[in-house]
Structure 1
Amino acid sequence: MDARKANIYKFLSGDKQYIIPVYQRIYSWEIEECKRLWFDIVDMQKKNKNGHFVGSIVSITENDSPSDMSKFTIIDGQQRITTLMLLLLALRDYAFIHREEKSINWKKINNSFLKNPDEDDDSQYKLLLTETDKDILISLIEKRPIDENLNSRLISNYNYFFSNIKNMDLSLQDIYEAIGKLQIVNINLDRTSDEPQVIFESLNSTGKELSESDLIRNFVLMGLDNKQQKDIYKNIWRPMEQLFRYEKQTLLMDRFFRDYLTMKLARIPKLDKIYEEFKMYTNNCEFSTLEDLCKDLYMYARYYTNMIFEQGTNKNLINLYKEIKYLKMEVAFPFLLKIHYDFERNLINEDELVSIIKLCISYVFRRNICDIPTNSLNKTFATLKNEINVDDYINSIKAFFILKDDYKIFPNDEKFSSALKVKDIYHMRIRNYILSSLENFNNKAPINIENYTIEHIMPQTKNLSNVWKKELGKNYETVQKKYLHTIGNLTLTAYNSEMSNKSFSEKMEMNGGFKESALRLNSYVVKQNEWNEKIIKERASILVEKALLIWKYPIIERNILVKYKNDDKQQMYGIDSYDFNKTTKMLFDKLNMRIMNLSSEVRREFKKLYIAYKLDTNFADIVVQKNRLRISVNMKFNEVIDEYNICKDVTNLGRWGNGDVELFLEDICDVDKVMDIIRQSFNKQL
């Protein structure tokens, strides 16, 4: 390794070329980074500073060049060197336009820092980027026309620098001089003795510069020889990257790799450990070559991007992907990847694939309506693939859902119906999804709900008219409060503002009123002569019956379910296994909710003698006692910060539960104090 300090002009001058290898990410600096660089340049020059350090550039010397030109592969620092090239390009072009001023020599910038004038073809360029970036940078250097609609950070950052140069914060001579003061550390590696991957990881150990997907790409491609790198990148990796849209490519690819690993491992990698988990996975995965692994990634990336972008060739699947997006069902992606793969392998047919996706949608939706916490869903879907019996594919999934209880329960028709009738639908994020689904169910000419607004048939105003008060009866205030935002009182209209607080008969007869409505949601409404509690409840029942057909509960023959129930390896205990009284149940419900809300990663397990809360292992356990809860916290006693002096050292005393710390909850007012201790144990496992 050879490390030397240099200024930018020295780094670029001479017959040399810097090459960005295919495993590096595309140019990704935003305007913000360019603003900081420009500010540093202006500040340095106005304050007459001698220099400014902009970072290091790490490269490997390539020895296979047939010419005398030196070639270097950059493994770290491509973002800053590319940005500096854009700045020089903007300076050159502005100087060329105003060449009569002769303040700086644009030809010198071009022939000393942007190009190698004595070379041909690609060798004539000081910097070669990858893929599309390469063509765009060359077009800028050669002043070729570029498509105005092309979305590229290279172009936007070049335009930013050109605009600032034009504003003349500094003279051209000052800018040229300031760029020459920019200092770097040029680190050149010896391919025979240095380990580029190890050095690369150490330079990016903070994870601030590169995303998890960037690190994975570098890891996969850096270890291959040049030919393999180019072949796999061109034919597999780059096509996979292009599946993810430009604007959110990095974010979505990070999520994809996490969901891919979750699907493969049946456990969820931590957000900042995706790269590390991927490396460990490659050591023990089913693929004998990196090429086969990349092909597998590409295949699953197709399923993934079809779902997130609601695309594909199958209209039924596209509509389901839209529902998944409405419900924000990203937690189900690992399992959905698995079933798409099995569909492509012909383990299930299209109808079965559709029915499984619908079942997952129903599971998530019914739980939402029944106000069941969502923080266990990611674990449920992460492990669901383990429950699949390939010889009885559909029934095994149905049985899994039916046999779930407590916080993983699939609400049955009775629970779902009861909850939906009284649910405040209007203030739900998915209210449009609900009303649209009810309107368009089995409708061959579905409407676009965006052309309508939600109408409260019984109006929202607190100052109800005398007509409404009479229609709703003497308990009109109670009726309005109870049913105002529920499904029985909500519909769609294109005349919301016109209807306003009008009476029911006026809403019925007015121009564009209910009588003229062709919406299915209004088919019951138009038959009514009045609007009151009884009718709202009747309409709610009608709509809920339709909802049961849309968001179905799994049905399976009893003898088949019994087989899965007998084979079920779930825990033997549930919430009813403990001797709660009114006080302890109230305390438990409050504390349980607070613990489960710590993170979606928290798992709860019912043991014979206590209730366990886990991440990797138990961080807290609850024992139900006569009039209080005893909590064991899995920490050493001397580790706990006990501000309220509520903890007891039970080291070696032999208690049910885990850890050396014990405390009690006897009064609901003390929940915050208890949670302060539990949170310490929880954080210790993060």
Structure 2
Amino acid sequence: MVAAQETNLQKILEGTSQYLVPLYQRPYQWGPENFKELWRDVTQLAEDRIDDVEATHFIGSLVLAPIPGSVAGSITRYLVVDGQQRLTTLTLLLAAVRDHLLEQGSATRRDTDRIHNQLLTNQYEDDPYRLKLLPTQADRESYAAVVDSLPTAGSDDNVGAAYRFFRARLAEPIDPDMPVDAVQIAQAVTTGLSVVSISTHPGDNVHRIFQSLNNTGLKLTQGDLLRNYLFMRLPTRSDEVYRTHWLPLQNALEDNERIETLFWLDLLHTKPQVKQTQTFAGQQSRLEKLATEDEIVGEIERIAGLGRLYRLMLHPLEEADSAVRERLVHLSEWDSITPAPLILHLLVLRDRGDATSEQVARALLYIESLLVRRFLVGRATTGLNRVFPAAVQELDADLPVDEALHRYLSEGRKHYATDDRLVDAILSSPLYTTGRAAQRKTVMVWIERLFATREHVDSRSLTIEHVMPQTLSPSWRRELAAAYGDEKVDTLHDQLVHTLGNLTLTGYNESLSNHDFGRKREILQASSIRMNQEIAVYKAWGPNEIEERGRSLSERIIAAWPGPADATRTTGDDNPLWASLNRLLTLLPAGRWTTYGDLARVLGTAAQPIGNRLANAPAPNAHRVLNAQGEISAAFRWLEPHRTDEPREILAEEGVRFSGNRADSGQRLTVADLEQLRVEVEEDTDPAE
């Protein structure tokens, strides 16, 4: 016999209780994608609760089995039969919030004590009953280090990775468009996340229950649920409506996942913050207000009409107007769901006669411009899942839709880069390491089209090529040293190798390889790609030529993708390089170290700017950055006036071993290690994908 009730994390964790993950459970295995999804859900919920304090978000079930012979009169103990991954992650998130608040001094001691003493530990119990959650043996040491705030917290395993991920997210600069702080996030986690707690009877076979819970089966999608719900509301007209409206909708969109997405996009038009996982609940709540069969039929007719417009987004070559078609093709190639609610809204306006094709084409260009300019300055997709749905509600209805959208995108912190900011990023930012690889290639293909190429180039066979190679051959090094001085070669190379001015497209990546520029020039001259022919005009290739080409490409980009309506606005200290540096430093595991040069390589800059930044601006885990020999830099100093402790002693407490003054090279994070950390935490996918 089992008993189920809906509850929240606070009610589960408060009181003298302990939750043990049994031996037959696998160790903690959640990874970056799980962390990202949970973080999106929690931060969205925290935002929702600003306007509606009762807002909740369902995250699944937790199956608990009471352990016979619990400590009498003191503590109640349960086996976590199912749900340990969620429960472990949520407590690690609470620990990260606690430590963030302590570090920032941005909350009362009561807030942090409550998290530690009521939600993470049984304050008055000794081991082994002290921790609220007791993971499997493989995870206990790492988990306890986090809960107890030991120097080894954030170790190099999955438990440590979760803790470091949430510390990095909490350390992100506050966005005025998302006015939630760590305390509100903690409240969303403890009282806003809804979970069904299922308790077994003491005589139940919990191992068998565990096995049955983990059997897989075919699950209904939210689109299936909505279809079933709608047709249950049509007792006399279901056959007719299915034949005349629903079946054409299915044929137009071709699969159930797209129908589910359509229902979600429709919901976003009136509820911009709703998650795709909430589609059925949100639509059902709205549809329950319809009382008659005629009203249900009218709703299905409306959805079918939206489906015809959504199909144009999926198959843009079917669009009749050439200007709108060009923009829809581009936005389809961008391969992102985030602009979809706004694009669909623009097509709806045109369909009902409230906008012309010319206005819609111009509005779509502004969407494209925002995407391109943000991408080129390293902002990628951050916050766009809020920007585009909100536009549907916030556009000025008294203006033509293209002008209204241009104004909306130009206001607030939407990171719509000005011309000056764009040029600066093109000349100095590492485009090759920015965002999603597919979108890097898309931007390069779009830039090639700016050359008015008459011959169609099949982009599927193209790859991005560095003109000055990623690794300098002896001949490249000699040529650069002769022009710029041997001592400057590595610094200039690190600063410019990944910038747009040094990148091109080619179908001959293997043959270009590491050839000297003379040979590359011959290959590029013979290319059908126009940007390659432009490079081949140069007699030599180095920093001066890269800058000159970067400026030339900037002019084309600025002309093709218009900037914000108010080009005089300032962005303040908005350099994404330092935000990326701080994020990466937060992710460095305890017991590991890295160098200024390796950080620079990953971030696409040089070691000196990294060193200067760490010497003059607060940054997390700066003591874990050593020089190339594994020694603490002579220039290192704590920026907190009260700190006098030796960085080597801190590193030793965290688990770094020293031989003389040098840290153990076996504990050094390689460039590949840092790249992996960066990829795991970057928000590079759409929240609905």
TM-score (norm 2): 0.48
Per chain length, whose mean CA-contact separation is higher, i.e. which structure has more relative contact order (CA < 8 Å, sep 6+)?
Answer: 2
TM-score (norm 1): 0.48
